[in-house]
Structure 1
Amino acid sequence: MYEFYAGVPSFSLNNEYYRRNQYSIDQSEKQVQHQKVLYVSQSAKDADLAFPKVDGAEYYGRFINDFESFRKLRVFIENPPDAQTKRDKLLKVYNPYNEPIDLKKLRFNVAFMTDNTKKKERWRIQPKPIDSTISRLPANDTLTLTFRLPKPTMKNPRYIRIGISENGLCYGINGKKIKLE
């Protein structure tokens, strides 16, 4: 809506607090890559400015000179994990972009959810490539990594979802909801 009324490009990060929307499938991300942008969120972390919403809540903005996001990365777990085992799990990350992505730019988390898929806990995970010499996600390809599923403190989690944060941005919606065994 903002782009329509303002006449300037806009892009939604579709982060873990919201749902996917048209920005997940259109080319908006490409328009803002490596551009100077105003990153607006409800977090005051490193804010350059603040402005109120009609309901009194505050939004904060931070200028990013070379914006880079990878919201189209997709995460897959083939075998439903068991929250109780301490074995490593396999995680596949598909990179649909035409360039490789340095793994150092990415952070991963797992959200534990209830029966009604409400997120209750989020834990950072540190997947590692099976081949330890790999340091980048190959372009238009899939990389297999291993990770340990942290033990949740909540009782009886039913689902998990993996998210990716790129360059310190909010975690995205990169994986599907997966039922725990």
Structure 2
Amino acid sequence: MPPAGGQPHHRKTLAVKRTDGEPLTRVDLQYDLLYHIFSDNHAVFTDPFTTIRGDRAGTKVTFRDLYVNALIHSPRCSKASRDRIRESPEFGNEFAMISLLSNVGRINTTMAFFPEMKTALRTYHPVPALQRTNGNLQDAPRIKNILKSCYLKGEAQGAVSKPADMLARIRSGKVPPTSIVNVIFILASHASVSSL
């Protein structure tokens, strides 16, 4: 639905635009919001995977654990990234936060977040608030590839692509209807922005 007074805003208008080498600030990241989302200790989400801690599928977890677990179960998440996330909860938080920003369209595909500042195809952007641990936060295209392959076991890619698909799956008893990453993609893609 278009915002009052006219045309719907394109989702890409949410993306941060910065020149090469310019850092992303806490304001750019909406860091306070990210911090509260990822530090909320309420275990109210049902995890469809075996968790990082070895809990079985169906365990109640926090949003942070649900989101991180979806990332490490992505077939496109590298073994090195998976191991680093498992070894360091702090790195897992940082990686999940930058992934969530990409998930909602805040990070565009020209950005890279390698601390060593070496990238041939992307512009480098330091993220001081999210680069406090050892390990690469990757670049936006690799993060997007990880996100786009976050599906539940047995779920065909693209099977759930709009809110109506999610509702239909819920009504048929498939709960959760898709991964948390795909839920966020769907909701962000179908939301209109009334102001920036």
TM-score band w.r.t. shorter chain? under 0.3
State the TM-score, normalized to the length of structure 2: 0.22
Higher strand share: 1
State the TM-score, normalized to the length of structure 1: 0.23
| Structure showing greater relative contact order (alpha-carbon pairs closer than 8 Å, 6 or more residues apart) | 2
